[in-house]
Amino acid sequence: MSNKFYETGSNRATKVNDLFATIAPRYDLINDLQSFWMHRWWKKRLIDLASPRPEETALDLCCGTGDVAFLMASRGARVTGLDFSQGMLKVAAQRAEVRTGAGTPQFVQGDALDTGLASDSFDIVTISYGLRNLSDWRQGLREMCRLAKPGGRLLVLDFGKPDLLWWRRLYLSYLKWVVPRFGRIFFQDADTHGYIHESLLHYPAQRGVEAEMRSMGLEDVKVCNLMGGIMGINQGRCPIAKSFTD
Ligand SMILES: C[S@@+](CC[C@H](N)C(=O)[O-])C[C@H]1O[C@@H](n2cnc3c(N)ncnc32)[C@H](O)[C@@H]1O
């Protein structure tokens, strides 16, 4: 089945940008509804694993409306959030305005595949529900490595593929048949949320990302499966000698 927001090749980014321009104003609300509010817990788990410390520098790629960036900033890290969608960044900026308390991230517009940011700059580089959307997810990982300091932590949170067959089938059925209804209800377009199922089919998820992290020479490579693998968090650490990323 084809989805109008999913395309392989050079037009991929344009389609993804169109998608997020459409859904940005309702993105946070639908995230809560479709995940039964659980995405908040999954993101908190990501931050616990990243364990940002005060004054550390952190970059959240594909930051969207800023959930992960805000969480890291609330732990005292100096956070940059990067995204290419003006619509998503607008919501992030609105949230930053009404925010009180601990630090506010800096939000910048850019391409996660070619950020133009300086190499070896960040103690932590995260990407949450972003890697799956890139036209070249391996290049996305390489860019994360380039940006991390030697010894820096890389973390990827995304939809996963459970190992257990019946659980995988049940969950993929939910993504295929139920989640598109949110698109139909809010945007009169099932494709906006049918995109999640379609893009996941083409993404290697936690096992593929784990294998790639190992082949890139990352250290301490681990996978944390949430709820039987419906969500996966990949972790790796850049070696002190980072020549492999050059
Ligand atoms: C599913 S949202 C995730 C947002 C946020 N990280 C979260 O967890 O809620 C995916 C985000 O990736 C962004 N994105 C996709 N491809 C990108 C690229 N090549 N460069 C920068 N941002 C990109 C989209 O604009 C969108 O905001």
Q: What is the pLDDT of residues 190-214, one digit of tens each?
A: 999 999 999 999 999 999 999 999 9
Structural domains of the chain, ranges and CATH numbers in brackets: 11-161+204-245 (3.40.50.150)
Tokens of 227: 């709820």
Distance 190 CA to ligand 1 centre (A): 19
pLDDT-derived band at 173, boundaries 50, 70, 90: very high
Distance 127 CA to ligand 1 centre (A): 8
Distance 165 CA to ligand 1 centre (A): 29
The mean pLDDT value for 98-120 works out to 92
Q: Is 63 in the pocket of ligand 1 (CB under 6 A)?
A: yes
Query: Of all atoms in ligand 1, which is nearest to the CA of residue 111?
Result: 20
Quick one: 52 exposed, middle or buried, by C-beta within 10 A (0-12, 13-18, 19+)? buried
Query: Of all atoms in ligand 1, which is nearest to the CA of residue 63?
Result: 6
CB of 142 closer than 8 Å to CB of 245: yes
Q: How far is CA 225 from CA 38, 55, 156, 174, 202, in A?
A: 14, 29, 12, 18, 19
Q: Residue 1: what pLDDT?
A: 57
The mean pLDDT value for 30-52 works out to 97
CA–CA gap between residue 95 and residue 6 (Å, rounded): 29
Query: Of all atoms in ligand 1, which is nearest to the CA of residue 31?
Result: 9
Q: What is the pTM of this model?
A: 0.96
DSSP secondary structure, 53-70, as one string: -TT-EEEEET-TTSHHHH
Q: Is 83 in the pocket of ligand 1 (CB under 6 A)?
A: yes
**Residue 187, CA atoms < 13 Å, CB-side half-sphere:** 21
The mean pLDDT value for 228-242 works out to 94
CA–CA gap between residue 115 and residue 214 (Å, rounded): 23
Closest CA to 112 of 79, 78, 139: 139
Distance 107 CA to ligand 1 centre (A): 13
pLDDT at 149 over 70: yes
CA–CA gap between residue 110 and residue 45 (Å, rounded): 26
Distance 129 CA to ligand 1 centre (A): 7
